[in-house]
Structure 1
Amino acid sequence: MKMYILVKREVPDKMVPVITAHASLACFRKFENTANMQTWINGIFKKVVCVVSETEFANAKKEADHIVLTESALNNQEVCIAFSPREEYPKMFKFFKMWVPNNNE
């Protein structure tokens, strides 16, 4: 069981750790009373952070049980989506690229 956190490609790398920390907490708070969240939080709570394009972000927003976060430092743009933990995700999630920091910033 894992929580996926999708971050838009345009978000500066230096902001991603804080944004994803906020995302996992916001997702927990939104879904804390669900069976899946309780199973996840009381077990090994895996998180997967991926970087996505605008199109991938828009498509992912169509999926259930998520929370979208904005960033005030980026003009309140939507920057990330966190999905309530589950065993299975739609096929498109398998093709998202893992986020890796660019050490040039």
Structure 2
Amino acid sequence: MKMYILVKDNIPDKLVPVITAHASLACYKKYEKNEDMIQWMNGIFKKVVCIVNDNEFEEFKKEADFIVLTESSLDHKEVCLAFCPREEYPKKFKFLKMWTPQNI
């Protein structure tokens, strides 16, 4: 059981920790009554933060049960998707690249 958080690859590294913290909380608030979310919260609430390009970002918006986050310091642009935790994700999630800081 894990929550995937997808961040656009053009977001400055210094903003990613705060964006992903907000994403996790916003996703929890949106899905707090969801059975998978409840199970996740009663466990170790594992999260996976990955980077995606703009095209991938749009493709992942076609998946189910997620929230889109925007960033006020970036003119309210969409920066992140947070997916309600679940046991199984579509196969394409397995091929995502995990985020690591590049320019901090």
TM-score (norm 2): 0.98
Instruction: After TM superposition, list the pairs within 5 Å mapping 1:6-45 onto structure 2.
Output: 6-45=6-45
Instruction: Give how far 1:63 is off.
Output: 0.4
Instruction: Give how far 1:44 is off.
Output: 1.1
- Report % sequence identity: 68
For residues 37-64 of structure 1, give each alpha carbon's deviation from its aligned partner in whole angstroms, at most 9, with x where no partner exists.
0000001110000000111100100000
The CA RMSD measured in Å over matched residues stands at 0.6
Q: Gaps spanning 5+ residues in structure 1: where?
A: none
Q: Which residue number in structure 1 is paired with residue 3 of structure 2?
A: 3
Q: SS at the partner of 1:3?
A: strand
Q: Gaps spanning 5+ residues in structure 2: where?
A: none
Q: SS at the partner of 2:15?
A: helix
AA at the equivalent of 2:83:
F
Number of matched pairs: 104
Q: SS at the partner of 2:7?
A: strand
C-alpha separation between the residues in 2 aligned to 1:96 and 1:52? 7
